[in-house]
Amino acid sequence: MHVPWEPRREREAGHLIYPAVSRRSGGLSLGVNLFPDAKVCSFDCPYCEVFIASGPSAGFSIADLEDELEDFLGRIYPDSWAPEPLRDICISGNGEPTASPRLGEALELCARVRKSHADILGSASLVLITNSTGFLDPSISALLERFSRDEGLVVWAKLDAASEELFRLMSGAKIEFERVVAGILSFARRSPVVIQTMLCEVEGRSPSDGDIADYAALLSRLVEGGARVDQIHLYTYSRPSPGRRCVALSDETLLRHAAFIRGATGLAVRAFGIGAELNPEGIER
């Protein structure tokens, strides 16, 4: 199988879609980039892999996205990826997708294309990766809730910390931490989420056992408040970022934290090392 694509390069070149072998998707994921010209995000995470866009781009348009999807599914996938199954269509890209005014149109198109190419995408999930700030906008929450209900949209919601101090370090954001938590709770009461959490060393500070205990307590508080949390994804630093301020945690450390959180909350917790998902025995899957 010949695979000529490199996800970050394709995004930086202004492409609207980019296939990637994703550890959290469990295989081939088709990314959708709503910001081909530049990073657009309310966070400035130290581990973010998005560099400044360097290639020419005409900007985002639904027509161009449809053209790229059809070209990939009709030509590139059969030539370069088949028979590797497509696990999901993932709306993420160079920024926070809920900040795009075209999000609803992009979701509509991806849902429609998934139906029209059921031979390739019939078992693929529709996924949106968010930093959770969009939940504070009632119109965005209603949009995501509708697609979750009608199209099975899976929302991966970021929650990287359980304290204001660590939230500031991990997000680089000015928004109050408790507002983000309240937004997650409000949305997850109505529609299920997967909580995605980056665990890594940032400028010499690694998450302590106390941080992990606080995080587990916060998850329990969310669930007790009515949040529907399907899974927890714990993952670590794995790709170059502009600032190179981060260091990955070891598989052993990730698994230890995962075991504690699983035991403290009763939630399903998956751990992802630098290159793969880890099972509780510490062996890559």
- Looking at the fold, whether 12 and 91 belong to one and the same domain comes out as yes
Q: Which structural domain range is residue 255 located in?
A: 156-285
31 within domain boundaries: yes
User: What was the pLDDT predicted at 103?
Assistant: 97
- Looking at the fold, whether 99 and 202 belong to one and the same domain comes out as no
- Looking at the fold, whether 172 and 103 belong to one and the same domain comes out as no
145 within domain boundaries: no
269 within domain boundaries: yes
- Looking at the fold, whether 179 and 255 belong to one and the same domain comes out as yes
- Looking at the fold, whether 124 and 214 belong to one and the same domain comes out as no
The pLDDT tens digits for 52-87 are: 655 555 689 999 999 999 999 999 999 999 999 999
- Looking at the fold, whether 202 and 243 belong to one and the same domain comes out as yes
User: What was the pLDDT predicted at 285?
Assistant: 39
- Looking at the fold, whether 107 and 200 belong to one and the same domain comes out as no
User: What was the pLDDT predicted at 54?
Assistant: 56
276 contacts: CB under 8 Å, gap ≥ 6: 23, 284, 285
- What residues pair up with 247 in beta bridges, in sequence order? 201
22 within domain boundaries: yes
- Looking at the fold, whether 161 and 266 belong to one and the same domain comes out as yes
User: What was the pLDDT predicted at 187?
Assistant: 98
The answer to whether the CB of 121 falls within 8 A of the CB of 61 is no
Q: What pLDDT tens digit does each residue of the chain (285 aa) get?
A: 444 445 555 544 568 999 999 989 999 999 999 999 889 999 999 999 886 655 555 689 999 999 999 999 999 999 999 999 999 999 998 999 999 999 999 999 999 999 999 999 999 999 999 999 999 999 999 999 999 999 999 999 999 999 999 999 999 999 999 999 999 999 999 999 999 999 999 999 999 999 999 999 999 999 999 999 999 999 999 877 777 899 999 999 999 999 999 999 999 999 999 888 998 654 443
CATH number for the domain spanning 230: value is 3.20.20.70
- Looking at the fold, whether 107 and 187 belong to one and the same domain comes out as no
Q: How many domains does the chain contain in total?
A: 2
User: What was the pLDDT predicted at 282?
Assistant: 46
User: What was the pLDDT predicted at 50?
Assistant: 84
User: What was the pLDDT predicted at 20?
Assistant: 92
- Looking at the fold, whether 96 and 168 belong to one and the same domain comes out as no
- Looking at the fold, whether 1 and 122 belong to one and the same domain comes out as yes
Q: What is the pTM of this model?
A: 0.91
User: What was the pLDDT predicted at 242?
Assistant: 74
- Looking at the fold, whether 219 and 107 belong to one and the same domain comes out as no
162 within domain boundaries: yes
Structure tokens given for 278: 């880890």
137 within domain boundaries: no
User: What was the pLDDT predicted at 58?
Assistant: 62
User: What was the pLDDT predicted at 135?
Assistant: 98
The answer to whether the CB of 127 falls within 8 A of the CB of 194 is no
In eight-state DSSP terms, residue 12 is H
146 within domain boundaries: no
User: What was the pLDDT predicted at 151?
Assistant: 98
The answer to whether the CB of 48 falls within 8 A of the CB of 242 is yes
Start-to-end Cα distance in the chain: 21
HEC sequence for 94-135: CECHHHCCCHHHHHHHHHHHHHHCHHHHCCCEEEEEECCHHH
87 within domain boundaries: yes
